[in-house]
Amino acid sequence: MSKTRSSLGRGLDALINSSINDEREIKYSEELANLKNDDGKLENILAKISVDLILPNPYQPRMTFDSAALEELKKSILLNGLIQPITVRRTQANHYQLISGERRLRAFKELGYKEIPSYIIKVDSDEILLALALIENIQRERLNPIEIAQAYKRLMSECHLTQEEIAEKIGKDRTTVANTIRLLKLPEVIQKALVEEKITMGHARAILSLPNERLQILAYEKVVEENLSVRKIEKLAKTVVSSGNNSSVLIKSFSSRKNINIHINELEDRFQKIFGTKVICNQKSNGAGEIIIQFYSNDELERIIEMIDSLNEKIS
């Protein structure tokens, strides 16, 4: 794709506006061959197309398809029908190429439907097809943050759009677009965790502010192991930055936390052996904390009280 950004021009805006925002009611034709626009062409119209005649989208931005979400979509289609048609372009006689709506097309196929409502639009080049496919998918499909980031990056590198132009076309501000693209700088293991929803976007952005991959992975592991809040990671990252990106500051912080946790776990085990029931020790960063002795009946409570009284007598 060697064309410049200007080659997309107003043509892309017109395509996006017509395929995404056009809410005019258009009647279907039972015979597709008889359905044409005002110019007598089979394009920029709404029709029912055989699912077997629709070719895959070579620029599909979605990397993963959640089976549970697909089942939900199938149930919705059975109950309410297809609310939003898919979008295709005509490639050759009686064949079409998918632009957006892969999940909807998959759902129709799995339900055994033979035809699917489709917008047939004219796309003059593969570059415009790529831009249109990415933008429609970003707006219509439930892409995960990494898929969105990769779509933005492709719009910049392959369609030569600026961050400002992308933001304008998808209705976001430029800062949001820039911050999303930055997610691709995270180590692969953290990107995967974000896709699998093991961490949130807030965690990912906070981790990204750490100065190197080693610290980013260390922070990610601690988020998963200890369920650290976004605020905690942000605070630690600020501490590292204020120390002149001194990595030892964060490493020491996490190491001390690990030692404290090991000590508390050992203490819980000792108390549990003494009282014969579950004991929980919670300690705050300032050293303060609490010890919780659990009981499950009045008899067990009496037993614990007697044990404490006995210990008190020995101390006295």
Q: Indicate which residues carry an active-site annotation.
A: 102
| Angstrom distances, CA of residue 199 to CA of 51, 96, 234 | 37, 39, 14
The distance in angstroms from the start CA to the end CA of the chain is 87
- As a whole number of angstroms, the distance between CA 106 and CA 64 comes to 13
As given in the structure block, the two tokens for residue 116 are 């699917």
135, 16 in Cβ contact below 8 A? yes
Radius of gyration of the chain (CA): 29
Q: Is 229 exposed, middle or buried (0-12, 13-18, 19+ CB in 10 A)?
A: middle
Contacts of 201 (CB under 8 A, 6+ apart): 145, 194
